[in-house]
Every structure is written in C-alpha cells, then in structure tokens.
Amino acid sequence: MKIIRSVKEMIEFEAQGEIAFVPTMGALHEGHLSLIRAAKKENDLVVVSIFVNPVQFSPGEDFSEYPRDEDCDTELLLKEDIDVLFMPQMKEMYPENSLVKVSLPSLTDCLCGTKRPKHFDGVALVLVKLFNIINPTKVYFGQKDYQQAMIVKKLIDDLNFQIGFKMLPTIRESNGLAMSSRNVYLTDDEQKQAGALYAMFSEARDLVRNGERNAIKLKEAMKSFLSKYEKLKLDYIDVRRADLKEVDVLEQGRYVLAASVYLGETRLIDNILVHV
C-alpha cells in the first residue's frame, strides 16, 4: 500500500488499471471496510482517501473533536491490501485563494441540509476536487448517508464525470445501530438506546408492508415510537421518494424513511429504503 500525502503526487500516480475510489473521513469501521472490500472485489486498483473536510462543518460543529486515528486506520487498510491511501494536507486542498463553491439547491435544502445548511455544499466541493485529483472509474458510497449518496450521483451526472457510482447497504451493530465514526461519542448506555432508531424504521417498514400509504401517518407512527425513549431527542423524521422529492401518498415505487436524533450532544442519522 502506497501512502500519498501530496496532491501533485496523487495526480501524477500512474495507475496500472482502473481506479475504484472510496472517500472517507477516517476513524474507519466495518461500514467503511464493506465499501473497500466491494471496491477491491470489482476493480483493478483501490484508492481510499482520509480527509476530515473542514468546509463541510459549520462553526460550533465537531470538526476539531472529530475522531482521528491515522495509525489504526493505516493498519486496517494494510490488512485490506488496498493500493493507495491518500491523506492530503489541508493547506494543499484549500489554499488561501480558493474561491469556487459547488451547490445543489433542491437536494440540499431538506433532511440534514435544513439543520446543516452549508454541509452538503462542502461535501460536494471536496468530492469534485478528489474526483479530479484521483480520476477514478468507479466510486463507492454508503446508504448510511443516503442524502449524500444522492448528491454524489447528481454531481456525477450534472458535471459529466465519467465515473460509475455504487451505493452499498448500511452496516449495523447487532442492536441495529448504524456504524458511524461518531459512535465513539456515545456511552455504553447511549449505544444501547440508539438501537431504537432502527427498531423504529423496522416498525414503519412493517406498516408499509401491511398497507399504510399515508406519509403523514407513517411519520406520526415513527415519532410516537421514538417518544418512548426519553434519551432520544428528535431532530427530524421524514418520508420521501427515493429521489428525495416530497410525497403525501406512497404509490408504486421506492421511498426513503430518514431520521436524525440527538443522544446527549451526539447527532445520529439513519434511514431505510422501502419498496411499494
């Protein structure tokens, strides 16, 4: 595994084959590894990036506390036998004279974008940069961050990137809690309580299977389920079409049930897809 820290060196990397790319912010867990393993299976070369992207954090968010463990991540990636670990320096990614912004208005003004207004523009900007630097043939993203995955798909389409896109399922703890680098912020008791989020989605999925088609009623049922867990404080709950458009009545198609909750100071997000 080659470790590259310079943007210039990454651009000049002479790939002996097609590159699959898995962007991450590090503090790697089984969710990340599932993407890396799929990328490894399906492609000649795998590049993984670790970069905690400052422009996707708002003031007051956890940029400085975000978990970082370069040694542990490097060791994990060595075991996965990837080809390149790209860890760019902040100054090189965002020189003082950086000017360009990327925005995708209607995809970013709902769900997580409502509470984190600049977040997805920051995600989009860093991904455009990384795609240009790494020049991948295919990119891998997790359903865990469903809105982000939809934004990446749109970036690729609208900006004519010649890149294949793959979204893979969310990897969960045994109690249903979606794995996340931020789970280290949770106490043992909070980790247990956090399983309620997935239980809530599972109940909603059963309601859909049993014929519920009214989005408002589904949202109410999910809120009512969550209200039994006093440590979980609701941020948002939504039911949308899989393309993130609003919906009142679920007709034939794919839908995403998405939520964000606070457990103490920690904000968790999760979602499931349902088919009608």
Q: Residue 172 has what DSSP assignment?
A: B
Backbone angles phi, psi at 194, to 5 degrees: -65, -20
Q: Which residues, including other chains, have CB under 8 Å from residue 161's CB and lie 6 or more apart? A: 131, 155
* Segment interacting with ligand AMP, rule: CB under 6 A, options 25-33, 63-71, 191-199, 253-261: 25-33
Q: Which of 178, 200, 256, 268 binds ligand AMP (CB under 6 A)?
A: 178
Q: Which is nearer to ligand AMP, 176 or 231 (CB)?
A: 176
Nearest to 174 by CA among 158, 192, 162: 192
The span from the CA of 131 to the CA of 245, in Å, is 27
Nearest to 125 by CA among 179, 182, 54: 54
Q: Which is nearer to ligand AMP, 32 or 267 (CB)?
A: 32
Q: Which is nearer to ligand AMP, 146 or 229 (CB)?
A: 146
Q: Could you say which residues in the range 47-86 bind ligand AMP, by CB under 6 A? A: none
* Segment interacting with ligand AMP, rule: CB under 6 A, options 69-77, 97-105, 172-180, 203-211: 172-180
Q: Which of 35, 197, 208, 268 binds ligand AMP (CB under 6 A)?
A: 35
* Segment interacting with ligand AMP, rule: CB under 6 A, options 23-31, 86-94, 237-245, 253-261: 23-31
Q: Could you say which residues in the range 105-164 bind ligand AMP, by CB under 6 A? A: 141-142, 144-145
Q: Which of 4, 7, 20, 34 binds ligand AMP (CB under 6 A)?
A: 34
In contact, 5 and 89? CB cutoff 8 Å: yes
The span from the CA of 104 to the CA of 11, in Å, is 26
The span from the CA of 213 to the CA of 209, in Å, is 9
Indicate the SS3 state at residue 23.
strand
Which candidate in 29, 32, 119, 275 is catalytic?
32
Q: What is the dihedral of CA 21, 272, 233, 183, to 10 degrees?
A: -40
Got the DSSP string for 37-87?
HHHHHHSSEEEEEE---GGGS-TTSSTTTS---HHHHHHHHHHHT-SEEE-
The span from the CA of 5 to the CA of 61, in Å, is 26
CB of 34 to ligand AMP, least distance (A): 6
Q: Which is nearer to ligand AMP, 10 or 127 (CB)?
A: 127
CB of 206 to ligand AMP, least distance (A): 22
The pair of three-digit structure tokens given for residue 224, joined into one six-digit string: 């009512």
Q: Which is nearer to ligand AMP, 83 or 215 (CB)?
A: 83
Q: Which of 7, 19, 21, 24 binds ligand AMP (CB under 6 A)?
A: 24
Q: Which of 32, 119, 129, 267 binds ligand AMP (CB under 6 A)?
A: 32
Lookup result for tokens 């003004």: 109
- Respond yes or no: is residue 32 known to be catalytic: yes
CB of 108 to ligand AMP, least distance (A): 16
Q: Which residues bind ligand AMP (CB under 6 A)?
A: 24-25, 31-32, 34-35, 141-142, 144-145, 170-171, 178-181
- Which residues form the catalytic set? 32
